[in-house]
Each structure stands twice: as structure tokens, then as C-alpha cells.
Amino acid sequence: MSLTKVYDAPTVFRHLNGIMNIYKPAGMKVKHVKNAVLHNIAKDLNEMKVREPRKLHTPLLEPGGDANPLLRKINSIDLADHILATGPRYQISDIRCALVAGLGIHTSGVLLFGINKGINQSQQVQRNRPVRAYHVTGRLGMATETHFPDARITVRADYRHVHPDRVSALAASMQASHQRKMYELCGVDLQSQAAYEIACKGLLRPADNTQPVIYGIKLIDFQRPDFTLEIHAINECEEYLASLINEVGIELRTVAHCTSIRCIRHGHYGVETSLLRHGWNLRGVVKNMREQRQVLQKHPHLINQDKIELRND
């Protein structure tokens, strides 16, 4: 299907509805990302063909010439509606935008927003709480106050005894303990028939959004002193993930702190289709929303969740 070029700003604005997948850089707050994207959208809309100033309903009177001294009616535009009086036709406040799930300032990766009529879809995605996947990198040998590298170092320890096999075994043990906690949050006895029937359904999502639950954790890279874990979780935050790295260091008889957190997937929204910073403009946002609309069409359960267990389809 061929695409039609549109130069009319009101037409583009009417179709600016949906979910956009933005790649958030580390060290940048979510509100600054949001303001930068909306500023560029409004700027590009104002550079297109915008609405003309309104016409006055009451015609003005002007004196005639020397040959015709009578007053006559003339049509005029409403100067109060002119862009020189009102400012640019499209302002940031004209674009409604809602965040699906936030990321901390140290975290980079997938960040979802709902635009205009897409806010309803973003709220449904937020309510269903899909699993998010992270690549979390830690560094052995040093612990800091906040578990991040920009904080004061509190402890130093030897890490030469740590090998990838030990890290992988610890990750598997932590995953098993978190999955056990997941069933305990359901309020059933682990030795009962009800617990068995729940376990047959697979991994379950928590009943509320207060308790972090880890569904998967594995070692994907080890280059001492740095190591990277892939973590699949719900209700997590960057402080929780950083404390997890600190816990890994303690279990390995050393210390560690978190050097980077990267969200690679939010439900079925992947980092591959995230909009990079050079594409934070109207053209890039419209194209990105079209791609994310295809994701919703392929996976409608993202907004219409009818099961308590996690789904991979």
C-alpha cells in the first residue's frame, strides 16, 4: 500500500494517536525525555501548514475614498487569533502524553508512552503489568553506598576466586527462590493440590504492583571483574536491581556494585524498534507508532489480559 504525503498539520495531529517506544539514554530523567520528544513534535507541526487565523463574524467599517465618502463594510481576520499574538499554533500542552512504566535515571532502554487517544491503550498495558527484561552489569571488588558507581565507595574486597560457574549456579538458585516466593504470594500451601494446579498453569503474575517478582535470572557475560545478568521481572525498580547485584557479590564472598542497567524488552515491545535520540521528531514518532500498532495487533492480550498466568504468545 502506497503512502500519501501529508503537509497539513491539523490532519497529522488528528492521527497522532497510539503508543510510542522511545529508547531512553542513561543519565537522563524520564520527564526530560518526554519534554524533548513533545517539544520536537510541536516544533515539526508548527513548521507544516497550520490553521489560518479565524475570520471576524462582524465586518469592520472603513471610510470610502474621496469620490465615495460613505462608510463601507470590509471583512477582516481576527488579529487575536494570529500566531504573532497567540504564539506557535501547537504547544507542548496540546499533546496529551502518559507514561506506561518509568525507568530510573541510571537505566537505559525501552520506555513506552501513550499519545493522545493512545493513552487508554497505555493505561491498559500498565494495568496488565507485562514482564520487563533487563541486562544488568555489575563489577566485583567494590561496594558503594547506593550500589551505583557515582556513589562513595564503602568496601573493597578480593574477587579473584569468583568464576562464571559459581555466578551461574547462584543465579539459578536465586531464580528458584523467587519463583517459590511467587507461589507463596498466592496464599496457598505449597504442598496442597491447589498449589499443584497453580503450578501447572505456569508462572503467575502478582496480585498487586508492590511486590517485585523475578521470573528469570541468568549469566550472559563474564569478564572479570565485570559480569552481566539477564533478569526478567515485574514490579521492579532500578534500586531493587542494583541491590540484587550487591546481594550477588555478598553471596560470592566478595562485594559488587551495579555499573549499568538496560531494559531490552517491555512485554513484546523490544529495544530493536525503540526510537533513538536522533529520531525524536514528528516523522520518527509517526513511523514508530505505526510499528507499535502492529505489535498490539499481533499480541492483543497486552491490553486485554484474561489470564493470571504469564503468556509468551
Measured at the alpha carbon of residue 280, what is the angle toward residues 122 and 271, in degrees to the nearest 5? 60
pLDDT at 55: 76
**Residue 65 in this model has a pLDDT that exceeds 70:** no
Q: Which of 59-63, 75-79, 290-294, 298-302 has the lowest mean pLDDT?
A: 59-63
Beta bridge partners of 218: 230
Q: Which of 43-47, 208-212, 261-265 has the lowest mean pLDDT?
A: 208-212
Specify the amino acid at residue 278.
H
Going from the C-alpha of 213 to that of each of 175, 177, 210, the distances in angstroms are: 10, 10, 10
CA separation for the pair 236, 109 (Å, rounded): 15
CA separation for the pair 68, 128 (Å, rounded): 74
**Residue 217 in this model has a pLDDT that exceeds 90:** yes
Mean predicted lDDT score pLDDT of the chain: 86
181 — pLDDT class (breaks 50, 70, 90) = confident
DSSP line for 224-258: TTEEEEEEEEES--HHHHHHHHHHHHHHTTS-EEE
pLDDT at 108: 96
pLDDT tens by residue, 27-44: 999 999 999 999 999 999
Helices 164-184 and 238-251: crossing angle in degrees, nearest 10, is 130
289: helix, strand or coil: helix
Specify the amino acid at residue 221.
D
Going from the C-alpha of 188 to that of each of 48, 184, 192, the distances in angstroms are: 60, 6, 7
pLDDT at 309: 56
User: Who has greater pLDDT, 134 or 312?
Assistant: 134
222: helix, strand or coil: strand
Q: What domains appear along the chain, each with residue ranges and CATH number?
A: 1-51+89-130+272-313 (no CATH), 131-266 (3.30.2350.10)
CA separation for the pair 166, 130 (Å, rounded): 30
1 — pLDDT class (breaks 50, 70, 90) = very low
The closest alpha carbon to 112, from 37, 222, 13, belongs to 37
Give Cα 119 to chain centroid, integer Å: 13
pLDDT at 19: 95
Contact 265, 132 (CB under 8 A): yes
Contact 49, 13 (CB under 8 A): no
pLDDT tens by residue, 219-256: 999 999 999 999 999 989 999 999 999 999 999 999 99
CA separation for the pair 267, 111 (Å, rounded): 11
**Residue 311 in this model has a pLDDT that exceeds 70:** no
